[in-house]
């Protein structure tokens, strides 16, 4: 019977490890405590302490084998109890090489601590089981701390190898793209345009960290002409680090807005951080700026290298005219100098036309022919979860914008929604990572914007009250539904939505727990 207890005990340990490491991975392996983690940990500790006391008392009144059966039954129920929520969430542990190494070490430490349950006195045996379950988070962090120096050294070696490769490959053309938004979209559009004439390699998906760039560098071969590096930042110094690795000669600055305010503090810090890419360009470099953003427009005027600016009127070097946005894409004229290119795209919204302008300006710098640019624009497919249009089998049109996490992107999404006919439903968890005060103000404003765009609003998460307040301030007459978590909201979609509805999923970021 004791061996069954040990087996169930280890199952619980491994399951709890998955939970805590998934949270750690979600926060980019930065240890931070939030209210949800505190509540989960406190609830776990209190329930386990109460159970340990109860089982210890029972050992004095009941036969040992009965207590053992009860203990095994409790461990089985506890495993099911903590497993079901984990399986329902999307923030599960991704078994990257780093996560595998960390989890194996954690499992080894857990196995060593299992020796406690072999203590002969049964009351100590019971207490040992519950004690180890209670200190499980600390065991997780112990394994993480033990492997951290190796991971840091291994990552640095990987990054340095990529840096040396890029430094030595003098013929390789390097382009950096940064901004608070639209980095991935611009990168993909530019990749499509340049690939018509060059052999191009680019960072994958939204990988825009030193490790993401280092991984992409590993795919560069002798035939590669151009390397496009998406560059992201969560704090001051991140862009400079990426510029030092890549040393790009060309750059695109997409825009600056309030994002990651929790780490940046002010939008001026965000501006200075994005400016690092422009400052890092050589004297013979070239940079394309978004003229529709006040911060990047100011950055354009300060830039000392060759440059161009794009926007929606003829004061810009590249601009769009005769714009028609529909629920299936857009039509417009791309104008520069005395040239005019008729363009058709399935990408939704005016903001995507701006992204196309940014990429086209860079493509023309590399001599891409007008016809090839038009063909590339027509070929471009939407990026998953970025205003991705999905026509479901039940007659509901879904606009999946769940990777948008800033207010400018929300404004663009609501503009797209207005192009559609039908009952408009917006599902949102709000804008995150702004700091408590800034986050409340931003989500209050988000609620006011939603009030002008939706017939039904579905909210969940910690920002729901702020959004609801914004809706009420605008006297929103539609229906507001609020749920505790993402899963509960999704489970009720079938009771809310009907054929012909348009569902905009705005910033569908998973909860921490």
Integer Cα distance of 451 and 447 in angstroms: 6
> Which pLDDT value is given to residue 171?
92
Q: Lowest-confidence range among 88-97, 329-338, 405-414? A: 88-97
pLDDT for residue 38 is more than 60: no
Mean pLDDT for 491-510 is: 82
Tokens matching residue 172? 């390789």
Helices first, then strands: H and E counts in the chain:
19, 15
Over residues 234-238, mean pLDDT: 87
- Taking 80 as the threshold, does the pLDDT of residue 512 lie above it? no
Q: What pLDDT score was predicted for residue 511? A: 39
pLDDT, greater one: 419 or 273: 273
- Architecture per CATH, domain 169-379, reads as 3-Layer(aba) Sandwich (3.40)
Given a cut of 50, whether residue 230 has pLDDT beyond it is: yes
pLDDT at 268 over 80: yes
Separation between Cα atoms, residue 438 and residue 297, nearest integer Å: 24
Q: How many CB atoms lie within 10 A of CB 37?
A: 16
Least confident of 181-195, 291-305, 370-384, 422-436: 422-436
Q: Which residue has the higher pLDDT, 437 or 233?
A: 233
Phi, psi of 320 (to 5 degrees): -115, 140
Which pLDDT score is estimated for 366?
96
**Maximum Cα interatomic distance, the chain, rounded to a whole number of Å:** 94
pLDDT for 33 equals 53
Give 187's contacts (C-beta < 8 A, 6+ positions apart).
177, 202, 203, 228, 230
Break the chain down into helix, strand, coil percent, rounded to 5.
55, 15, 30
> Domain residues of the chain, as ranges?
2-148, 169-379, 388-506
Neighbours of 45 (CB within 10 A): 16
pLDDT number for residue 510: 43
Residue 263 CA to residue 51 CA, distance in Å, equals: 40
Lowest mean pLDDT among 47-51, 274-278, 445-449: 47-51
Task: Supply the pLDDT for residue 17.
Answer: 80
Residue pLDDT, tens place only, 147-162: 888 888 888 998 999 9
Q: How confident is the model at residue 513 (pLDDT cuts 50, 70, 90)?
A: very low
Return the pLDDT at 88. 60
Mean pLDDT throughout 260-265? 76
pLDDT band with cut points at 50, 70 and 90 for residue 393: confident
Given a contact cutoff of 8 angstroms between Cβ atoms, the answer to whether 467 and 388 are in contact is no
Strand partners, 310: 290, 318
The total of other beta-carbon atoms located within 10 Å of residue 207's CB is 17
Is the separation of the CB atoms in 430 and 446 below 8 Å?
yes
Cα atoms in the 13 Å half-sphere on the side-chain side of 215: 12
pLDDT at 328: 85
Contact (CB, 8 A) for 224 and 172: yes
Q: Does domain 388-506 have CATH number 3.90.190.20?
A: yes
| DSSP state for residue 325 in the 8-state scheme | E
> What's the chain's average pLDDT?
84
Q: How confident is the model at residue 254 (pLDDT cuts 50, 70, 90)?
A: very high
Per the model's pLDDT, the better-predicted residue between 368 and 413 turns out to be 368
**First vs last Cα of the chain: how many Å apart?**
34
Share of the chain above pLDDT 70, in %: 86
d(CA 272, CA 295): 10
**By percentage, how much of the chain surpasses pLDDT 90?**
44
Of the two residues 414 and 74, the one the predictor is more confident about is: 414
- The residue that leads in pLDDT, 435 or 497, is 497
Cα separation, 179 vs 177, whole angstroms:
7
Q: What is the mean pLDDT of residues 318-331?
A: 92
Residue with tokens 């095994």: 72
CA distance 76 to 67: 14
Residue, of 212 and 123, whose pLDDT is higher: 212
Residue 246 above 90 pLDDT?
yes
Mean pLDDT of 259-283: 89
How crowded is the C-beta side of 41, counted as CA atoms within 13 Å? Answer: 14
Q: Give the mean model confidence (pLDDT) for residues 209-221.
A: 91
Phi-psi region of 367 (alpha: psi -120 to 50; beta: other; left: phi over 0): left
185 pLDDT higher than 60: yes
pLDDT at 85: 65
- Over residues 77-117, the pLDDT tens digits come to 777 776 776 666 656 777 878 888 888 888 888 877 766 65
pLDDT of residue 74: 76
The predicted pLDDT at position 26 comes to 66
Cβ–Cβ < 8 Å for 324, 353: no
């Amino acid at each position: 019977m004791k061996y069954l207890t040990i087996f169930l005990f280890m199952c619980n340990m491994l399951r709890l490890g998955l939970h805590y490491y998934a949270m750690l991975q979600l926060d980019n392996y930065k240890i931070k405590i939030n209210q949800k983690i505190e509540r989960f940990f406190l609830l776990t500790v209190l329930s386990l302490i109460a159970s340990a006391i109860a089982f210890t008392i029972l050992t004095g009144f009941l036969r040992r084998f009965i207590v053992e059966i009860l203990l095994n039954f409790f461990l089985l129920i506890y495993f099911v109890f903590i497993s079901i929520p984990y399986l329902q969430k999307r923030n599960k542990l991704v078994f990257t090489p780093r996560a595998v190494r960390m989890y194996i070490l954690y499992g080894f430490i857990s196995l060593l601590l299992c020796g406690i349950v072999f203590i002969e006195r049964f009351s100590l045996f019971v207490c040992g089981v519950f004690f180890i379950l209670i200190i499980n988070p600390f065991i997780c962090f112990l394994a993480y701390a033990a492997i951290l120096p190796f991971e840091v050294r291994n990552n640095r070696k990987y990054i340095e190898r990529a840096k040396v490769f890029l430094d030595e490959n003098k013929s390789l053309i390097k382009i950096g793209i940064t901004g608070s938004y639209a980095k991935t979209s611009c990168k993909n559009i530019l990749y499509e345009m340049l690939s018509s004439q060059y052999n191009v390699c680019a960072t994958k998906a939204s990988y825009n960290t030193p490790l993401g760039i280092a991984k992409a560098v590993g795919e560069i071969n002798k035939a590669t002409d151009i390397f496009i590096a998406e560059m992201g930042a969560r704090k001051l110094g991140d862009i400079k680090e990426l510029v030092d690795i890549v040393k790009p000669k060309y750059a695109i600055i997409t825009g600056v807005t309030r994002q990651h305010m929790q780490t940046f503090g002010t939008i001026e810090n965000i501006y200075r951080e994005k400016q690092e890419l422009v400052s890092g360009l050589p004297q013979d470099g070239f940079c394309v700026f978004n003229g529709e953003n006040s911060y990047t427009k100011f950055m354009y005027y300060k830039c000392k290298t060759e440059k161009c600016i794009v926007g929606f009127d003829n004061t810009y070097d590249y601009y769009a005219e005769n714009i028609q946005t529909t629920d299936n894409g857009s039509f417009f004229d791309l104008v520069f100098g005395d040239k005019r290119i008729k363009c058709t795209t399935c990408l939704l919204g005016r903001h995507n036309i701006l992204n196309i302008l940014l990429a086209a300006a860079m493509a023309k710098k590399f001599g891409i022919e007008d016809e090839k640019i038009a063909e590339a624009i027509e070929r471009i497919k939407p990026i998953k979860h970025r205003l991705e249009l999905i026509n479901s089998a039940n007659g509901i049109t879904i606009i999946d914008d769940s990777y948008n996490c800033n207010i400018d992107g929300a404004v663009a999404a609501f503009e797209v929604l207005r192009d559609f006919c039908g009952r408009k439903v917006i599902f949102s968890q709000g804008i995150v990572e702004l700091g408590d005060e800034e986050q409340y103000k931003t989500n209050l404003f988000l609620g006011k914007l939603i009030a002008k765009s939706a017939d039904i609003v579905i909210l969940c998460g910690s920002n729901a009250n702020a959004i609801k307040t914004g809706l009420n301030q605008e006297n929103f007459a539609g229906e507001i539904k609020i749920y505790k978590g993402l899963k509960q909201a999704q489970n009720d979609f079938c009771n809310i939505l009907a054929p012909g509805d348009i569902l905009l999923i705005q910033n569908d970021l998973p909860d921490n727990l």
